[in-house]
Amino acid sequence: MPLGRERLLAPLGRAARRAGADAALFCGERQARTVLRFSEGRIHQSLHQEELSVGVKVLKAGRIGAASTSTLRPAALTEAARTALEAARLSPRQDAVPFPTGRGETLPAARTHFPATARTPIRKLVEQIRTLCREAKKRKMTLAGSLTIGEDESAVAGDRGLARHQPFTIVGARFIAMQGKASGFAAQTCRDIRNLDLKGTAQRAFQFCRLNRNPEDLKPGKFAVLLEPEAVAELMEWLSFTAFGARSLENRSSFLTDQMGKQVVGTNISIWDDGTDPAGLRVPFDPEGTPKRPVPLIEKGVARGVVSDHHYAKFSGGKSTGHALPYDDAEGGPAPAHLFLAPGKTPAKEMLQTLDRGLWIARFHYVNGFLNPKTALMTGLTRDGTFQVKNGKVTGAVKNLRFTQSVVESLLKVVALSKERRLVADPAHGFAGVTCPAMILRDFTFTGQTA
């Protein structure tokens, strides 16, 4: 059960008011998770874990310091404030922006906590996993993965009356179906367990596994590709780190540098961040207590903006967009956490037929998006399903390939987007995700292959 406003928010507010700083912010996050891990047809690990973290940020004489603790005890909060003040004293003086106060800001109601999720008996989930493992056995496969369910709670308090509090629920499953050396992956995450389709998710894993038998070598080169939403989301997440935050614009490392108002990708591409949309993992405010608001990043191929926190607000019309990172991670600058990619017109079930010749990619891993952020050049490997397609049909699996490709260049060559979108998120961390369609694009460059 959540601690509630009185037990979580109130101690933070009292600590902020007595911090002894010119301004102070306290952000508390509580996380409770039950995780069931399974493989070889049985659940081999069940654990429940609860964690509390409190971040402290202070402003003193034009200097900023941060610290953290893992308890709400008044003495510990006071000590964390002292540590933050000492860090501020040792920090260089900067043109510090006053901390948010919450005055004049309206926080719209957002339903993020669902009793159906919080009250689901673990034994019910155990039986569902066992049923799916039996289904895998009938297919002469084994099913491995995890099912995660839990509750989160976030609170932000300032010394000048700022007070935010929000509870959350989260549930998600990750499946890997295996048959010999073949594997297939599928996952789903949501806040309301009534939207969780374990059977349908497992079916996707079974499908990829069945197709992924006896993979053959394929010579690297340029191919048209059909990327599943999981593969698209991986690329979008890297863009959020390297391009869509105000800090990358300030240091001129983003491909959006000097491009605002200009076409940078295809006109069929629109990308935005929106923490208020229930289609994603809705989160109403950031660790500074600023309400999240929708931010257009790319609109019909044209660069429109980046996300900001209160320090980088000059890049968003002088007002934070609600995208501050936790205080101990603030050096990276603000970053999107709820990316959306506009859908297309092709039904998902027709995407494969739309690809006349090329490769169908289930997902990527080991991606490095820092090769050249100015061009969004990235490299990584395919995983759990790379299939050769001819005349809109799978002709066989190929061994995993390494890609090296500019994502900006790829987004100029998108020829189809699915009508349906999928939320791709990790249930272990219930505050971020990417909601995107499947995508077909031309001339995706593969530079190596696995043994």
Same domain, 205 and 226: no
Same domain, 143 and 279: no
pLDDT, one tens digit per residue, over 161-203 is 999 999 999 999 999 999 999 999 999 999 999 999 999 999 9
| Residue 441 in this model has a pLDDT that exceeds 90 | yes
Same domain, 397 and 307: yes
The answer to whether position 420 is within a domain reads yes
Q: Which domain holds residue 308?
A: 222-449
Q: Residues with Cβ < 8 Å from 198, sequence gap 6 or more?
A: 128, 129, 132, 147, 173, 188
Confidence of residue 451 (pLDDT cuts 50, 70, 90): low
* Domain termination site, one of 211, 232, 262: 211
The answer to whether position 216 is within a domain reads no
Same domain, 370 and 443: yes
Q: Tell me the average pLDDT across 385-413.
A: 96
Q: Tell me the average pLDDT across 343-347.
A: 97
CATH code of 157's domain: 3.30.2290.10
Same domain, 195 and 275: no
Total Cβ atoms within 10 A of residue 111: 9
pTM higher than the cut 0.85: yes
pLDDT in the model for residue 232: 98
Q: How many structural domains is the chain composed of?
A: 2
Q: Tell me the average pLDDT across 326-346.
A: 88
Confidence of residue 224 (pLDDT cuts 50, 70, 90): very high
SS (H, E, C) 139-193: CCCEEEEEEEEEEEEEEEEECCCCEEEEEEEEEEEEEEEEECCEEEEEEEEECCH
The answer to whether position 42 is within a domain reads yes
Same domain, 243 and 372: yes
Same domain, 313 and 441: yes
The answer to whether position 101 is within a domain reads yes
pLDDT, one tens digit per residue, over 259-278 is 999 999 999 999 999 999 99
Average pLDDT value for the chain: 94
pLDDT in the model for residue 342: 98
Same domain, 197 and 294: no
pLDDT in the model for residue 329: 66
pLDDT, one tens digit per residue, over 349-362 is 999 999 999 999 99
Tokens found for residue 1:
């059960």
Same domain, 198 and 267: no
The answer to whether position 217 is within a domain reads no
Same domain, 290 and 320: yes
Same domain, 184 and 305: no
The answer to whether position 275 is within a domain reads yes
The answer to whether position 139 is within a domain reads yes
**Alpha helices, H only, 288-447:** 351-354, 407-410
* Domain termination site, one of 188, 211, 234: 211
The answer to whether position 12 is within a domain reads yes
* Domain termination site, one of 182, 211, 240: 211
Same domain, 261 and 179: no
Tokens found for residue 51:
């964690």
